[in-house]
Structure 1
Amino acid sequence: MLCVGLVAGMLSGVIGTGSSMLLMPVLVMLFGPQQAVPIMAIAAIMGNLGKILAWWREVDWRACAAYCSTAVPGAALGVRTLLALPPHAVELALGLFFLAMVPTRRWLARRSIQFSLLHLALIGGVVGFLTGIVVSTGPITVPVFMSYGLVKGAFLATEAAGSLAVYGTKVAVFKHFGALPLHVVFDGLITGSALMAGSFAARYVVVRMSPRTFKLVVDGLMLSSGLSLLWAAGR
């Protein structure tokens, strides 16, 4: 588990997301789906904290505040409605969304269309709600923050700060409904420690990447994430 967590942390530390895509199948096999979700939420808090510490000086706090103003209450609402939604329908919708975001991000970049703080606030509520329902919506936040104009360290740090607030809310709601026993917290801390270590190791990769290469890697992740979600929905 520690080895998988370290690799997942490095992947997330390079492109801003992807740790849950690697870790969730392993967590489900080891602990079952009901425990895997809160374990991943705790691990995600630690993984995002690692990225913030690695890129502390690069955080755009105004963008983070605008996003969190609606994403945090959205996440709380999403967790409360988690059991009321059919998971396969959510996976199908998210898979199609991720695939559509690859050409959409490129279209926005060609036309120099950038999101404002208001856009981040409007989008944050929707993304926060979806994050409360599914394990991760990282591939959604990637094009959102990049369309605001953030790349490399600034993108990684700001996206991580926003995600930290959202996952913190998610864990708090899990605890409120009694879905966070001590052994789940322990497993989440172990997994999260590996993610944090991977985030720091990834810094040495990111500083050597060009912005163009960084964006190509992000597109590749969104494509693979969308296809994996569609495959999961079709099972």
Structure 2
Amino acid sequence: MQLLLVLLGAFVVFILSTLTGGGASLLLMPLVAWIVGVKAVAPVMAISIGMSSTSKVLFFWRYIDWKLFAWLFPSTIVGSILGARMFAILSADYLQLLIGLVLISTVFQWNKTEKRTGWKVKAWHFAPMGLVVSFLSGLIGGVGPLMNSAYLNYGMSKESLLGTRSANAILLHITKIISYAYFGYITGEVIKYGLLIGFSSMIAVYFGKLILAKISELIFRKIVVASMVLSGILMIWKNREFIFNWLAMA
């Protein structure tokens, strides 16, 4: 029954993830932690999101911005390796709170009369941003749609955002999986749940693509910003005990 609940949850979450440009990891983390424990969340999510990203790349291949991918390529590898290395030895509570606040702040960037949501982003900006985001992803397992604001401000279409983001996500999660395995975090149970959730996510992406085709670019951007704010709230809520303890000690 627990496994069925996780697979059903993954199916729903990855449909939403296709419509919002990402963020499935934050919504799934509590369910995965309930089944396999907190320490296995990051490697399980790396396997499952890597699989879902593969299906997105297949569906949106012709929309991928390979110039942008080239800027992300080296920083994604370096950042994810460093993040995975720090996974076992550094408390990530403060980082998760900071990321949550950053995601929530995107609500103030939205301009109802424009497609973009803030400053103009250039291709080379993604190199340093990719390094930071991939490091944080390797460290805490997932950072949600943290870079979606940059993708939107770069001026991407909904299909291009999903395709390019997913191509980079494959690189990110393959590197993380190799790193987690090297440091001893990949077990038989992790592989089992990662693959099961991954197969569920690949089916969900197909249905998400059908729904995506029926919504406009502007609605898609509004959904993305709303999902970033929701992801930030969920990330902070997940760490509420840490916040309460920190306030009690202050």
**Residue 98 of structure 1 contacts residue 225 of structure 1 at CA under 8 Å; is this kept in 2?**
yes
Which residue identity lines up with residue 149 of structure 1 in the other structure?
G
Which residue identity lines up with residue 130 of structure 1 in the other structure?
L
Alpha-carbon distance between aligned partners in 1 of 2:117 and 2:40, rounded to the nearest angstrom: 44
Alpha-carbon distance between aligned partners in 2 of 1:112 and 1:94, rounded to the nearest angstrom: 18
Alpha-carbon distance between aligned partners in 1 of 2:45 and 2:147, rounded to the nearest angstrom: 17
TM-score of the two chains, using structure 1 as the length reference: 0.93
The alignment status of 1:129 with 2:107, answered yes or no, reads no
**Residue 76 of structure 1 contacts residue 129 of structure 1 at CA under 8 Å; is this kept in 2?**
yes
Distance 1:191 1:71, change over 3 A: same
Q: Structure 1 stretches of 5 or more lacking a match?
A: none
Q: Secondary structure at the match of 1:139?
A: coil
Q: Percent identity?
A: 28
**Residue 78 of structure 1 contacts residue 132 of structure 1 at CA under 8 Å; is this kept in 2?**
yes
Q: Which residue of 2 aligns with 1:162?
A: 168
Distance 1:32 1:110, change over 3 A: closer
Which residue identity lines up with residue 218 of structure 2 in the other structure?
R
Q: Which residue of 2 aligns with 1:77?
A: 82
**Residue 59 of structure 1 contacts residue 154 of structure 1 at CA under 8 Å; is this kept in 2?**
yes
The alignment status of 1:8 with 2:13, answered yes or no, reads yes
Q: Among 145, 151, 156, which residue is 1:145 paired with?
A: 151
Determine which structure has more spread, i.e. the larger CA radius of gyration. 2
Distance 1:89 1:154, change over 3 A: same
Deviations 1:44-68 (A, max 9, x none): 1001111111111111111112112
Deviations 1:11-45 (A, max 9, x none): 11112212112221111111101122211110010
Q: Structure 2 stretches of 5 or more lacking a match?
A: 1-5, 242-250
How far apart are residue 198 of structure 1 and its match? Answer: 0.7
Alpha-carbon distance between aligned partners in 1 of 2:195 and 2:117, rounded to the nearest angstrom: 43
**Residue 115 of structure 2 contacts residue 221 of structure 2 at CA under 8 Å; is this kept in 1?**
no
Q: Which residue of 1 aligns with 2:25?
A: 20
Alpha-carbon distance between aligned partners in 2 of 1:213 and 1:110, rounded to the nearest angstrom: 12
Q: Among 220, 224, 230, which residue is 1:214 paired with?
A: 220
Which residue identity lines up with residue 186 of structure 2 in the other structure?
L
Alpha-carbon distance between aligned partners in 1 of 2:220 and 2:79, rounded to the nearest angstrom: 29
TM-score of the two chains, using structure 2 as the length reference: 0.88
**Residue 5 of structure 1 contacts residue 23 of structure 1 at CA under 8 Å; is this kept in 2?**
yes
Distance 1:110 1:212, change over 3 A: closer
The alignment status of 1:99 with 2:104, answered yes or no, reads yes
Q: Which residue of 2 aligns with 1:30?
A: 35
Alpha-carbon distance between aligned partners in 2 of 1:143 and 1:231, rounded to the nearest angstrom: 22
How far apart are residue 87 of structure 1 and its match? Answer: 2.5
Question: What's the RMSD between the two structures over aligned residues?
Answer: 1.9
The alignment status of 1:46 with 2:51, answered yes or no, reads yes
How far apart are residue 110 of structure 1 and its match? Answer: 6.0
**Residue 26 of structure 2 contacts residue 144 of structure 2 at CA under 8 Å; is this kept in 1?**
no
Which residue identity lines up with residue 178 of structure 2 in the other structure?
A
**Residue 105 of structure 1 contacts residue 147 of structure 1 at CA under 8 Å; is this kept in 2?**
no
The alignment status of 1:63 with 2:68, answered yes or no, reads yes
**Residue 117 of structure 2 contacts residue 149 of structure 2 at CA under 8 Å; is this kept in 1?**
no
Aligned residues: 235
How far apart are residue 83 of structure 1 and its match? Answer: 2.7
**Residue 23 of structure 2 contacts residue 143 of structure 2 at CA under 8 Å; is this kept in 1?**
no
Moved over 3 A (4+): 104-113
